[in-house]
Amino acid sequence: MFNRKPHRNKRAVEEPQIDKSRLPVHVAIIMDGNGRWAKQRGVPKVMGHRAGAESLRDVVRYCAETGILILTAYAFSTENWKRPQDEVSNLMGLLVEYLSKEIQELNDNGVRIKSIGQVDGLPSDAYEALMAAEDKTKENKRLTLNLALNYGGRLEILEAVRKLAHEAHEGRLDPASIDESLFASALYTAGIPDPDLLIRPAGEFRLSNFLLWQIAYTELWITPVLWPDFRRSHLEQAIVDYQCRERRFGGRKS
């Protein structure tokens, strides 16, 4: 499926191939550009979000097929509540629709649904659909799909600080014992390895309040492709580029 045959000419050069022995364990994606995609086509924004759901479907399938273990998708931020009410309602409705329509295929492909963020702040129907999807897929181990919903990186850090401060105030935690590992265990992503690769579509050069603690040494890959046009071929290109990089984590090559 992933072996491309070179063109039948003497100068043909085979494109770089993914080394499946060096796949990123955790890929994170900021799903951006739905609105611009819709505007370019003169269609309602909801059509852009719906096209973006198709992109997520294709990327999830690719990750499951290829052997990537964790995919985190930034679906709805704490700041997104500022958008027009009809757009927010459409997004929440699309979330319910995605979870209900995709649950069987997700199960068949061994995909586990998890969520990060203040998901209890979602509308009741969206929250219930999310909890049902998490429960139905909890035994799957092929791929974990983390949906970041009502998520904000700064808020996540503040919540972790409050949690640890409360434990220290109650005498259940020595402040001197707080290290990076303990702090990470208080985040929404507790138990999840930090992303190896963060993909930012739509040509934006900002993190948009996403996984601010976790991406300290994550490799960034930015593409002008709008999220609704993003497909597995783009993800494959990102992984090939990732595998060409040298990750030193602040150290120096010996």
**Residue 14, pLDDT score:** 55
Q: Is residue 147 part of a domain?
A: yes
Which DSSP state fits 230?
-
CATH of residue 125's domain is: 3.40.1180.10
Q: Is residue 250 part of a domain?
A: no
Mind giving me the DSSP string for 90-103? HHHHHHHHHHHHHH
Catalytic annotation, pick one of 58, 80, 109, 229: 80
Is 80 in contact with 49 (CB distance < 8 Å)?
no
User: For residue 177, is it within any domain?
Assistant: no
Residue 42 confidence (pLDDT) above 70: yes
Beta carbons within 10 angstroms of residue 14's beta carbon? 10
Evaluate whether residue 118 is within a structural domain.
Answer: yes
162 within some domain:
no
Catalytic residue among 3, 9, 19, 32: 32
Q: Specify the pLDDT at position 17.
A: 86
CA dihedral angle for residue 72, residue 78, residue 84, residue 88, rounded to 10 degrees: 50
Asked if residue 99 is part of any domain, the answer here is yes
- Is 80 catalytic? The answer is yes
| Per-residue pLDDT tens digits for 145-157 | 999 999 999 999 9
Task: List Cβ neighbours of 21 (8 Å cut-off, separation of 6 or more).
Answer: none
Task: Note the pTM of the prediction, 2 decimals.
Answer: 0.91
Closest among 212, 220, 215 to 241, alpha carbons compared: 220
Q: Kindly report, residue by residue over 115-170, the tens digit of the pLDDT.
A: 999 999 999 999 999 999 999 999 999 999 999 999 999 999 999 999 999 999 99
Which pLDDT belongs to residue 77?
97
CA distance 113 to 36: 28
Q: At what angle do helices 85-108 and 124-136 cross, to 10 degrees?
A: 10
Please tell me the distance from the alpha carbon of residue 135 to that of residue 141, in angstroms, as a whole number.
Answer: 13
**What number of helices (H) and strands (E) belong to the chain?**
7, 6
Q: Which domain holds residue 78?
A: 21-152+194-243
Q: Which tens digit of pLDDT belongs to each residue from 18-35? A: 999 999 999 999 999 999
Q: What count of other Cβ atoms lies within 10 Å of the Cβ of residue 60?
A: 21
Report if residue 1 sits inside a domain: no
The answer to whether 183 and 160 have CB atoms below 8 angstroms apart is yes
Domain count, the chain: 1
Tokens of 50: 């719906």
Ranges assigned E (strand) in the chain? 26-30, 70-77, 111-116, 143-151, 197-200, 219-222
Q: In the prediction, which pLDDT does 251 show?
A: 67
pLDDT digits (tens, 9 = 90+) for 224-248: 999 999 999 999 999 999 999 988 7
Q: Give me the pLDDT at residue 246, please.
A: 85
Is residue 179 in some structural domain? no
